[in-house]
Structure 1
């Protein structure tokens, strides 16, 4: 008896032209990952019948869909399609800004040792989180929702081509040691960690007569986050207390290639330095981002070769 091993797992994707329809002759692109959990979803409706013998009736199956996360270290051009999908924009001159597009993908998870294959169709990048920490590679998480999911003991379509992917080594991971942080237009060297979360607020939409999503919604883009920095003076806390608008830009590099995530308009929603150690204290500064007319976006990502 063979048990499925994570070391023989693969996840890959291809862009769709029509929601939930895999292109006729697809060439899938494998994704480098740390973890993933792409899976089907099925709602259950409680059976309201009251029985005279006090027993419960089984729930009734309802709507189907797909969901999951893809987690991995940020590396040059490894997740560019998913980053653009999360922002709802396109790469133009190596810059992508948040926009109104809603690209979807067909995504295959393959377990090669036990020949188990699952494909999610109509997969939409509903959210993205980037994590920055001193001494660590930059982490990326993509939250997916989709129209459908199906398992098979064979490749879902015989026309699936061999997936390809760029190798990831210690040399091409985006690292904090090569990073630069700019806050309010000024370079700062106090940040210990930060996270930036983008949420598209998408939902699967169902209609009467079908248990498969008819469409995926897209709401206002919400960008939030927190920066942690060594507490030097009251400057940052004063920005919170005054309600002043600021900006934030975080650059990550592998020594050759770079990504710069820019939030041109942010406002801090807190500022506190809890005392839980005898050593240096860090100031926690949560924030929300908003639209900036000059930059014409709420968030942008720039890649540099």
Structure 2
């Protein structure tokens, strides 16, 4: 996970803040292997990657006679991203072809704890779709169809409805 922060001011300290930083004791990073990804309320257990970019378009205002901005002003939030998955029934492909919006929720559990990270987006429009044959799939037993790798470029439409969209940490 990558993120950047914007602040109003900073001070240069005379001493280092973290003199001897160390990893948290017993902390196991959150993993997609112990979480879930849901599309339209249905868990999809075969997602192989997910990337989401949230840009709040924050800016600072200029003030005459002061070096400090009075506040950080939020702009329109832009959300974009992509995800890829293995599938058999091509349900996501059909949603792309029908140009319907989907809901997307990703939850990553913290092993050994009740903690988790979850992001839920109520209105996601799939804007691109590519497929590749997965290598060696013919050898899988019991597969009704060949599995395909699905790479989806999505316009993740966050409509600033607090009831419908949640970002929890």
Aligned to 2:143: none
Q: How many angstroms does 1:218 deviate by?
A: 0.5
Say whether 1:290 aligns with 2:158. yes
Aligned to 1:254: 110
Which runs of structure 2 are paired with 1:1-305 in the superposition (5 Å)? 140-152=1-13, 154-155=14-15, 167-169=24-26, 171-255=27-111, 256-257=113-114, 258-273=116-131, 278=135, 281-287=148-154, 288-291=156-159, 296-301=163-168
Whole-Å separation in 1 of the counterparts to 2:25 and 2:51: 22
Q: How many angstroms does 1:210 deviate by?
A: 4.4
Q: How many angstroms does 1:229 deviate by?
A: 0.6
CA contact (8 A) 2:84 2:149 kept: yes
Structure 2 gaps, min length 5? 138-147
Higher relative strand content:
1
Q: How many angstroms does 1:211 deviate by?
A: 4.8
TM-score, normalising length from structure 2? Answer: 0.72
CA contact (8 A) 1:264 1:292 kept: no
CA contact (8 A) 1:206 1:215 kept: no
- The number of aligned residues is 154
Structure 1 gaps, min length 5? 1-139
Aligned-residue CA RMSD (Å): 3.2
Distance 1:211 1:268, change over 3 A: same
Whole-Å separation in 1 of the counterparts to 2:164 and 2:57: 17
CA contact (8 A) 2:77 2:158 kept: no
Distance 1:149 1:290, change over 3 A: closer
SS of match in other structure, 1:143: coil
Q: How many angstroms does 1:147 deviate by?
A: 2.3
Higher Cα Rg: structure 1 or 2? Answer: 1
Whole-Å separation in 2 of the counterparts to 1:246 and 1:168: 39
TM-score, normalising length from structure 1? Answer: 0.43
